Copies of this chain bind each other. A is one copy, B any other.
């Protein structure tokens, strides 16, 4: 067994779900790929669904922590927006399989308590972003855009990366985030 079997199981399961889809993956396959017995998995999770739910919570918690930490290091809303985007993109690249898993079935969480937790985490992440945008409008760094619509645009740019970005390619996730940030801040007008 590895140092943190629970984390290992989540990582391996996310890889399998991302490749084959949730429905077509089995707990036995997760166990086999880790050289665990199925019984060893049951020490940590009682079902495939429980693993799925745990992946979603792990991913959203990590995403929140990463963006909050990045934002805390900056003083101005303008710089906070940039670092929020970079941190989100980097976390997505580092946990790519988890984001693929989440994309395919966020609404598929079985544990309603955990589903509420997931929605709260998602709202906290979006809430931090809206706060940054509203602060930037208030201090004159940004023009008077709506925080909800603009936050949604930022998260759309970052979230769609799971559909085309491949970690380890020519361009890093941070590069993509910085390009999007520049486009968003400066706009298209000549």
Contacts and interface: CB of A to CB of B under 8 A. Distances in A.
A180 interface: yes
- How would you classify the secondary structure of chain A's contact residues: helix, strand, loop or mixed? helix
**Identical subunits present:** 2
Contacts of A159: 156, 160, 163
Nearest to A150: B183
Given A153-B157, A160-B160, A142 B183 contact: no
A152 B136 contact: no
Given A156-B156, A159-B163, A164-B152, A189 B180 contact: no
Nearest to A139: B190
Nearest to A158: B156
Given A23-B23, A24-B23, A183-B184, A190 B153 contact: no
Nearest to A24: B23
Nearest to A175: B149
Nearest to A106: B163
A188 B187 contact: yes
A153 to B, nearest CB: 6
Interface in A162-190: 163-164, 179-180, 183-190
A21 interface: yes
Interface of A: 21, 23-24, 81, 103-105, 136, 140-143, 145-146, 149-150, 152-153, 155-157, 159-161, 163-164, 179-180, 183-190
The 4 closest A-B pairs by CB, nearest first: A187-B187, A156-B160, A23-B23, A142-B188
8 contacts: A81-B188, A136-B188, A141-B190, A145-B183, A149-B183, A150-B183, A184-B184, A186-B189
